[in-house]
Structure 1
Amino acid sequence: MHTTELIPSVGKSADDVYSAIKQAIGETRYAPGEYLREEQLARGLGVSRTPVREAFRRLGAEGWLEVKPNHGVRVRSWSIRDVEEIFEARMLIEPYLAGRAATGIAAPELLTLRGLADEMLEIAKNPVTPECADRWFAANRRFHDIISGAAGNQRLDQSLRSMKDVPLIKWTFNIYSDDDRARSARQHVEIVEALESRDAVWAEAVMTCHIRAAQKSVVEKFRQEPSQP
């Protein structure tokens, strides 16, 4: 299969090309370690090599690609240390933001969070399929983005989003056991309850437990079977 067959139609600007390649990697359309060909991508996307080269540079700096002089550009493979670092960083930032959000989140956002938590509860009752994983990923991402955005700290919010904006997050749901999925869904409900109660301590505590449980499941699975995103 040609590389560009995996990328949706895009505009011609450098930002369009960057976003399209990043989306393709984020949706795991490329395997870890797979080489991307600048000329082939440019030809298939109908652009010059310059925006593709710039996209490679940006994605390399952000950790999505490995840019190896004289060897080429390939999709980054994730190590156990990468997994541990992402969860360590989340543990430092996300519970704090949840506590901050508890004191300032608006009622409409709480209603949205309740709906997303209910959706994830329903998803967790069904067998895992690609469609199911996509729905969970979208709901989970929106859920956590709403909370971090409501905390009122833009820099921490952006830092958190960037570290979670990797294929690893989508891969997490795919490797969860039935018990993992059910527990995660229940924790989302409890996070909403803590926020509805405007209880910062509770919100911080349950978010800590939520991330710690995910870390344990993912790290154990990664060590057993590093068929990573």
Structure 2
Amino acid sequence: MLEASASRFSGEDVYATLKKALGDSQYAPGEYLREAQIAKSMGVSRTPVREALQRLASEGWLEIKPNYGARVKHWSTRDVEEIFEARLLVEPYLAGRAALRITAEDIGTLVELAERMSAIATLEATPETTEQWFAANGTFHAIVTAAAGNVRLDNALKSMKEMPLIKWTYDTYGAADRRRSARQHVEIVEALEQRNQALAEAITRCHILAAEQSVQEKMKAKMK
């Protein structure tokens, strides 16, 4: 639940605050976001709230139901397939390009992040360790894709990966999944260090496919 603030929110503030709340799963799938309630809690008119909700709907976070309002999107199996299909088309390519362009400084940072994720993978999964992993993982992949030097593809990929599905992916992981993912991050760094474009692409592709399989299996299990 959003808390009231003494300061006045701009339209961009309203959007950013709601987006963070959705990313942090403060709203459940299928839950409606009420314009009047949000406007009151933020001390703004309903107009910037309405604009923020429409913007979040266009980005895939919400669904606008005529005569009912905006509700948090419920992820279907097909939604998961579409996001991972799109990632498979873009992310391995960017990783391969990064192998040809990435700096030694960035590689050093990636080594540290991969080591951090390897350490986290040995710990019990808790909300705290999940947040730590999510932060390290996001920074890791952002460095890799930015190093490719294609701003348009990188921005498109960032939009896909901002979805709460990405955080939920790690929540679905078992111990073996976490160890596998940590190992693949190390392998990606090694491919980048070797300037091996094909290997960086191949490992990144396997990394995404393994994540998709884990998510799909957990979703199917919930449906039984």
- Conserved? CA contact 1:10–1:17, under 8 Å: no
Deviation >4 Å, runs of 4+? 7-11
Instruction: Quickly say closer, same or farther: Cα 1:9–1:201, change in 2 above 3 A.
Output: farther
- Conserved? CA contact 1:11–1:17, under 8 Å: no
- How far, CA to CA, are the matches of 1:209 and 1:224 in structure 2? 23
- Conserved? CA contact 2:5–2:42, under 8 Å: no
Q: Quote the residue 2:141 is aligned against.
A: 144
TM-score, length of structure 1 as denominator length: 0.94
Q: Quote the residue 1:74 is aligned against.
A: 71
- Conserved? CA contact 1:35–1:75, under 8 Å: yes
- How far, CA to CA, are the matches of 1:20 and 1:10 in structure 2? 13
Q: Quote the residue 2:24 is aligned against.
A: 27
Task: Please point out which of 93, 116, 121 is paired with 1:119.
Answer: 116
Which residue type is aligned with residue 195 of structure 1?
Answer: L
Displacement of 1:12: 1.4
- Matched residue of 2:70: which SS? strand
- How far, CA to CA, are the matches of 1:159 and 1:9 in structure 2? 35
TM-superposition CA deviations, 1:186-215 (whole Å, max 9, x none): 000000000011110110111111111111
1:179 maps onto 2:176 in alignment? yes
- How far, CA to CA, are the matches of 1:10 and 1:188 in structure 2? 42
Displacement of 1:8: 8.3
Quote the sequence identity (%).
Answer: 59
1:4 maps onto 2:2 in alignment? yes
Which residue type is aligned with residue 140 of structure 2?
Answer: F
Q: Quote the residue 1:157 is aligned against.
A: 154
Structure 2 alignment gaps of length 5 or more: none
Structure 1 alignment gaps of length 5 or more: none
- Conserved? CA contact 1:10–1:16, under 8 Å: no
- Matched residue of 2:75: which SS? coil
Which residue type is aligned with residue 198 of structure 1?
Answer: R
Q: How many residues are aligned here?
A: 223
The 5 Å alignment of 1:44-63 reads 44-63=41-60
- Matched residue of 1:4: which SS? coil
1:211 maps onto 2:208 in alignment? yes
- Matched residue of 1:43: which SS? helix
RMSD value over aligned CA atoms? 1.4
- Conserved? CA contact 1:4–1:40, under 8 Å: no
Task: Please point out which of 122, 129, 132 is paired with 2:129.
Answer: 132
- How far, CA to CA, are the matches of 1:214 and 1:62 in structure 2? 22
TM-score, length of structure 2 as denominator length: 0.96
- How far, CA to CA, are the matches of 1:148 and 1:131 in structure 2? 26
